[in-house]
């Protein structure tokens, strides 16, 4: 695919840009007997961690923080090495690309959690949960980084000027 | 770049393709730019929305949580607590809160803040939502023009947080009774307001501030009377027992009721709009104004046990005053100890009679009134203690005209006026009861009892004799009677020979009687038969033509 690196870079920058509001804005608004609360992704992780649900906290952390960062760094690394026509660890980099492609959609876990919670928690008086803008940004981050990975041409890792 | 890997034999082939594809990567850059624009616009919007930050000082920060406690205006969230810290002198708690931008207009120099916690009183339950959600900070906007960012919070929520329209009234009372802040105010048993404040005035009186809500404040007129509606009013009247209370809440938390005063009543004494007297109860509130009291003194030459302070003084059955003191006096003349009763009288309570007297100028001054009392005394006006209730032994003073009373001197110049008295009738009653008791006492009860006892013993003996002797023979007689009746029954039975013989005898007697009747008939028709004997039977009088007529 021609201009692969340029497009990959463009999508990557868009993903990083969108990742900032996705973390700053609340992803979910819950209201119930115990009051109303807006929760952000990091706030939710901290809350789960503090209340002792470290497993859930870890899961959400991996899905919504570790995976996107891994992708950003991995794609960035791949782009950088391709641009430099580096011959360094070509096999490893190919594996890295496969991994990035594979883990891409796992980040959608967060989006699905919010969607499910919002759909299930509709007791009106007792409590309800509504998605907030943050989750849309997060969804966009996942899609954009997947597009970025798709645009990348793994062949370029091996294409070296003779 | 792909071109770089292949050797360049021809140069004209890829050129148009490259130009076409060139648009794609350019277009792709729109995505990060759009993302950046959205992000920046959000940031700007957020920054624009951020309102003022205020600091409120409270004595206690109980229930306030950073990031969770909300600031509410009319129950709408307008901000959130961002920090809680102690003041430099450690005396107060400083609560910082971020308010939304549109709440900035609510911040004046006299804006009030208070912490809302659940409050459960007898009359009302408020802030129940804070039980689960935690406390929040309530606010009430002021009217001042000056802007302010530092506030001193109220320790108690104001009674009226959102300034409903209505009227604030000041009520003065000798004592506040069991009124509490928030106690209801009733108009004809409808709750129309609340007590919002009460405090003690420097003169020791209680001042209760009540608030009557908007559509009902029109019921408060200058003639309106307020009274304390706390508790139950139990009245035992001629028409039975009456229990009255404004409401169960008033029973527990106290309350104030108001209504129009008597039609012809003068406006409330205070005369200042918004200031009213708070009466002890409805009866007192609705009573016509008493006016100035006049004091009188009475000397009674008898013990007045049961006469207490506050006992009524009645003039011809109308309550016109009350006893204020019962003292023991000493009469040097005859070394006696008269009971001196001081009472205050309200001539105004005489109603229509008072108006007539006023028209005649008798009530103009103390002296004219005293002179008028003098004429009444000449006509036989006397004070007399009377028993209000035989059961309780309570006394009251009756001012009545006693016709056959001896004339007494009346000095109209003595102050207080001294009214002549006569002794109470209750002592006469006591004496007659005493006589009755004495008579009963004098009865030879013991002898009567002894006689009765002897008589009863005799009766008992007689009865036992009767039982021992008469009863057995009576039993014998009865059984003999029974046997007799039995045999009589058997004799009279249908199947008995006697019965049968009797029947036959009767049949025979009938035949005989028939024969005698025939003989008598015969003799009647043929009296000669006695001499000639019976003639052979024929039918001489049966006429032949009858039979011959019948034949053809």
Say whether A35 and B39 touch across the interface (CB within 8 A).
no
- Using pLDDT thresholds of 50, 70 and 90, give the confidence band for residue B53: confident
pLDDT at B517: 93
What token pair was written down for B457?
Answer: 């013993």
**Cα B349 from Cα B471, distance rounded (Å):** 83
Say whether B36 and A35 touch across the interface (CB within 8 A).
no
Per the CB < 8 A criterion, the answer to whether B111 and B146 are in contact is no
For residue B220, the Cα-to-chain-centroid distance in whole angstroms is 24
Question: Could you tell me if A11 lies within 8 Å of chain B, comparing CB atoms?
Answer: yes
Q: What counts of helices (H) and strands (E) characterise chain A?
A: 8, 3
**Cα B30 from Cα B24, distance rounded (Å):** 10
Residue closest to B322 by CA, chosen among B332, B334, B335, B313:
B313
Q: What is the ipTM of this complex?
A: 0.76
Bond prior to B416 in cis (omega within 30° of 0): yes
- Using pLDDT thresholds of 50, 70 and 90, give the confidence band for residue B458: very high
**Cα B228 from Cα B281, distance rounded (Å):** 6
pLDDT at B549: 46
pLDDT in tens, A2-59: 678 888 888 899 999 999 888 888 888 877 665 667 788 888 888 888 888 888 888 8
Per the CB < 8 A criterion, the answer to whether B197 and B229 are in contact is no
Q: Count CA atoms closer than 13 A to B189's CA, side-chain side.
A: 6
Say whether B5 and A156 touch across the interface (CB within 8 A).
no
Per the CB < 8 A criterion, the answer to whether A74 and A96 are in contact is yes
Average pLDDT over residues B113-119: 80
Residue B224 sits at φ, ψ, to 5 deg, of -65, 140
pLDDT at B99: 87
More confident residue, A35 or B385: B385
Say whether B21 and A7 touch across the interface (CB within 8 A).
no
What token pair was written down for B408?
Answer: 């007494």
Going through B480-526 in order, the beta strands assigned E by DSSP cover none
Tell me, what DSSP letter sits at residue B147?
B
Average pLDDT over residues B396-403: 84
Residues of chain B neighbouring A150 (CB-CB closer than 8 A): none
Query: Which of A35, A153, A159 is the best mutation test for B, with the most CBs of B within 10 A?
Result: A35
- Using pLDDT thresholds of 50, 70 and 90, give the confidence band for residue B451: very high
Give the gyration radius of chain A's Cα atoms.
19
pLDDT at B457: 94
**Cα B362 from Cα B367, distance rounded (Å):** 9
Say whether B134 and A7 touch across the interface (CB within 8 A).
no
Per the CB < 8 A criterion, the answer to whether A34 and A160 are in contact is no
pTM for the whole thing? Answer: 0.42
Average pLDDT over residues B536-540: 58
In the predicted model, what is the mean pLDDT of chain B? Answer: 79
pLDDT at B454: 94
Residue closest to B141 by CA, chosen among B160, B122, B164, B113:
B113
Write out residues 27-86 of B within 8 Å (CB-CB) of A. Answer: 28-29, 31-32, 34-36, 38-39, 42, 68
Per the CB < 8 A criterion, the answer to whether A75 and A15 are in contact is no
Residue closest to B97 by CA, chosen among B145, B143, B135:
B135
pLDDT in tens, B465-493: 888 888 888 889 999 999 999 988 888 77
Average pLDDT over residues B260-274: 59
Say whether B133 and A140 touch across the interface (CB within 8 A).
no
**Cα B293 from Cα B347, distance rounded (Å):** 7
- Most confident region among B89-98, B134-143, B178-187 by mean pLDDT: B89-98
pLDDT in tens, A76-112: 998 888 888 777 788 888 888 888 888 877 777 778 8
What token pair was written down for A7?
Answer: 């497009």
Beta strands A127-131 and B50-58, pairing class = unpaired
pLDDT at B11: 58
- Sheet containing B50-58: order of strands: B112-116, B136-140, B70-73, B76-86, B93-100, B50-58, B150-152
């Amino acid at each position: 695919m021609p201009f692969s690196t340029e497009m990959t870079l463009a999508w990557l920058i868009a993903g990083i840009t969108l990742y900032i509001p996705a973390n700053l804005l609340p992803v979910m608004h819950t209201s119930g007997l115990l009051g109303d609360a807006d929760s952000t992704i990091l706030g939710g992780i901290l809350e789960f961690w503090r209340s002792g649900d470290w497993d859930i906290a870890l899961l959400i952390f991996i899905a919504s923080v570790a995976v996107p960062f891994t992708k950003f760094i991995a794609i960035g690394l791949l782009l950088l090495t391709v641009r430099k026509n580096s011959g360094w660890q070509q096999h490893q980099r190919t594996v890295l690309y496969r991994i990035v492609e594979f883990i891409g959609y796992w980040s959608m876990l967060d989006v699905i959690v919010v969607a499910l919670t919002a759909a299930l928690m509709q007791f009106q008086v007792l409590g309800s949960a509504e998605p907030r803008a943050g989750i849309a940004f997060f969804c966009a981050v996942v899609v954009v980084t997947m597009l970025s990975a798709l645009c990348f041409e793994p062949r370029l890792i091996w294409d070296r000027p003779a | 770049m792909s071109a770089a890997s292949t050797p360049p034999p021809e140069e004209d082939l890829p050129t148009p393709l490259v130009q076409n594809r060139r648009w794609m990567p350019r277009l792709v850059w729109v995505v990060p730019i759009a993302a950046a624009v959205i992000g920046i616009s959000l940031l700007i919007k957020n920054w624009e929305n951020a309102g003022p930050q205020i600091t409120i000082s409270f004595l206690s920060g109980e229930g306030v949580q950073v990031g969770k406690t909300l600031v509410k205006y009319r129950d709408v969230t307008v901000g959130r607590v961002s920090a809680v810290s102690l003041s430099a002198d450690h005396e107060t708690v400083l609560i910082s809160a971020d308010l939304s931008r549109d709440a900035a207009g609510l911040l004046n120099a006299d804006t009030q803040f208070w912490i809302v916690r659940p409050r459960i009183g007898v009359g009302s339950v408020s802030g129940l939502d804070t039980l689960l959600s935690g406390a929040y900070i309530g606010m009430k906007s002021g009217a001042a023009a000056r802007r302010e960012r530092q506030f001193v919070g109220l320790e108690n929520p104001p009674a009226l947080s959102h300034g409903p329209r209505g009227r604030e009234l000041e009520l003065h009372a000798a004592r506040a009774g069991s009124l509490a802040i928030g106690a209801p105010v009733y108009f004809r048993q409808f709750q129309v307001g609340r007590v919002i404040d009460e405090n003690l005035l420097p003169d020791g009186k209680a001042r209760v501030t009540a608030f009557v809500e908007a559509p009902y404040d029109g019921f408060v007129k200058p003639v309106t009377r307020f009274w304390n509606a706390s508790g139950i009013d139990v009245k035992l009247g001629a028409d039975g027992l009456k229990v009255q209370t404004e409401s169960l809440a008033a029973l527990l938390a106290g309350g104030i009721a108001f209504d129009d005063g008597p039609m012809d009543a003068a406006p409330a004494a205070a005369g200042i709009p918004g200031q009213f007297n708070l009466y002890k109860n409805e009866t007192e509130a609705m009573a016509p104004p008493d006016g100035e009291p006049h004091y009188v003194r009475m000397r009674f030459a008898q013990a007045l046990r049961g006469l207490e302070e506050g006992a009524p003084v009645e003039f011809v059955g109308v309550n016109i005053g009350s006893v204020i003191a019962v003292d023991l006096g000493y009469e040097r003349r005859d070394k006696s100890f008269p009971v001196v009763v001081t009472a205050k009288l309200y001539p105004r309570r005489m109603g229509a009679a008072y108006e007539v007297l006023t028209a005649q100028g008798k009530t103009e001054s103390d002296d004219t009134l005293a002179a008028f009392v003098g004429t009444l005394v000449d006509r036989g006006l006397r004070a007399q203690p009377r028993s209000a209730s035989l059961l309780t032994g309570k006394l009251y003073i009756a001012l009545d005209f006693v016709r056959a009373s001896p004339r007494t001197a009346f000095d109209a110049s003595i102050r207080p006026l001294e009214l002549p008295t006569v002794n109470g009738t209750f002592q006469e009653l006591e004496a007659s009861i005493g006589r009755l008791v004495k008579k009963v006492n004098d009865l030879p009860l013991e002898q009567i009892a002894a006689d009765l006892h002897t008589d009863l013993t005799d009766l008992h003996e007689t009865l036992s004799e009767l039982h021992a002797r008469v009863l057995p023979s009576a039993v014998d007689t009865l059984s003999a009677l029974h046997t007799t009746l039995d045999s009589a029954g058997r004799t009279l039975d249908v199947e008995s020979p006697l019965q049968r013989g009797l029947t036959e005898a009767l049949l025979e007697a009938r035949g005989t009687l028939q024969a005698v009747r025939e003989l008598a008939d015969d003799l009647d028709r043929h009296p000669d038969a006695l001499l000639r004997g019976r003639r052979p039977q024929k039918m001489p009088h049966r006429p032949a033509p009858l039979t011959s007529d019948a034949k053809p």
